[in-house]
């Protein structure tokens, strides 16, 4: 049981490049989330998916898109990366609603 | 918008002492308050949570208290050990159970000195 996995672990992009961050969970969870973590700002929700087939915006969705590919996988896409998107990105999942969120190990993204 | 304020941002204690971290939330509809511990280079991990129908919850050396009237909740760690050193985040649910969305505090870096 791997829990929540994220790929890649680390990525360097140039301004304007695009990339997709992958997230998968093997706990049969319904809800999945994407956060970004910046120093002194805690974790901020980018997008979430309450259940398979649904997605919705969080606090900081601008510049990102998501796809809930199936119940297991939830990807985050940066269409045109900007230096302001340099951050650590975490994916999380929960069985449903207000229950324990399980986090992945994170993706460290540097945009030059 | 709704927010969660967390204090202090850094906390240094001697091994064996107690540590207290405090959070204040603004959304009066919040009803779920988890605490997460994040070790260096890892994702956050839930250590304890409390729901609005109780005022206190304990799990060994860790306790959380909730004052809904004042919109305050706190994490108490007793008999601290070096392995408690980490960043701790509080969070509050967004009102009306909006898909399980949480608002996180800014984090507290706890250092336990041997």
Cα–Cα distances in angstroms (integers) from residue A105 to residues A26, B61, B109, B112, in the given order? 15, 26, 19, 24
Nearest to B89 among A43, A97, A100 (CB): A43
Q: Scanning every residue of chain A, which has its alpha carbon at the shortest distance from the alpha carbon of B103?
A: A44
Of A88, A96, A41, residue with least CA distance to B89: A41
User: With contacts defined as CB-CB under 8 Å, which chain A residues touch B102?
Assistant: 45, 101
Cα–Cα distances in angstroms (integers) from residue A60 to residues A20, A45, A48, A74, in the given order? 17, 6, 11, 17
Cα–Cα distances in angstroms (integers) from residue A92 to residues A9, A102, B5, B91, B101, in the given order? 15, 5, 22, 14, 11
Give tens-digit pLDDT for B31-44.
999 999 999 999 99
pLDDT at B96: 62
Paired tokens of A1: 């049981």
pLDDT at A25: 97
Nearest to A100 among B43, B46, B97 (CB): B46
Contact between chains at A101 and B100 (C-beta distance less than 8 A): yes
User: With contacts defined as CB-CB under 8 Å, which chain B residues touch A89?
Assistant: none
CB pairs under 8 A between A and B: 65
The percentage of residues in chain B with a pLDDT greater than 70, rounded to a whole number, is 96
Examine the pLDDT at A78 and tell me if it is beyond 80.
yes
Examine the pLDDT at B15 and tell me if it is beyond 90.
yes
DSSP type of residue A101: P
Examine the pLDDT at A67 and tell me if it is beyond 90.
yes
Average pLDDT along chain B = 93
Of B85, B74, B77, B38, residue with least CA distance to B60: B77
Give tens-digit pLDDT for B56-110.
999 999 999 999 999 999 999 999 999 999 999 999 998 766 667 899 999 999 9
Nearest to A42 among B41, B51, B107 (CB): B107
Q: Scanning every residue of chain B, which has its alpha carbon at the shortest distance from the alpha carbon of A46?
A: B101
Examine the pLDDT at A98 and tell me if it is beyond 80.
no
């Amino acid at each position: 049981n791997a829990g929540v996995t994220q790929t890649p672990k680390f990525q360097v992009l140039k301004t304007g490049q695009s990339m997709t961050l992958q997230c998968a969970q093997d706990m049969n969870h319904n809800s999945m989330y994407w956060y970004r973590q910046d120093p002194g700002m805690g974790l901020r929700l980018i997008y979430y998916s309450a259940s398979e087939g649904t997605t919705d915006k969080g606090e900081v969705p601008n510049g990102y898109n998501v796809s809930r590919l199936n119940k297991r996988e939830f990807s985050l896409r940066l269409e045109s990366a900007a230096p302001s998107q340099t951050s650590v990105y975490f994916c999380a999942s929960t069985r449903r609603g207000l229950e324990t969120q399980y986090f992945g190990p994170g993706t460290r993204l540097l945009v030059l | 918008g709704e927010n969660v304020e967390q204090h202090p941002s850094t906390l240094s204690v001697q091994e064996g002492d107690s540590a207290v971290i405090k959070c204040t939330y603004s959304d009066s509809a919040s009803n779920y308050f988890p605490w997460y511990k994040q070790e260096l280079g890892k994702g956050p991990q839930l250590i304890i949570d409390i729901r609005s129908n109780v005022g206190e919850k304990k799990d060994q050396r860790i306790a959380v208290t909730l004052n809904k009237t004042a919109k305050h909740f706190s994490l108490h760690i007793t008999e601290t050990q070096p392995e408690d050193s980490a960043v701790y985040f509080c969070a509050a649910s967004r009102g009306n159970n909006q898909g399980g969305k949480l608002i996180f505090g800014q984090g507290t870096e706890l250092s336990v000195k041997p």
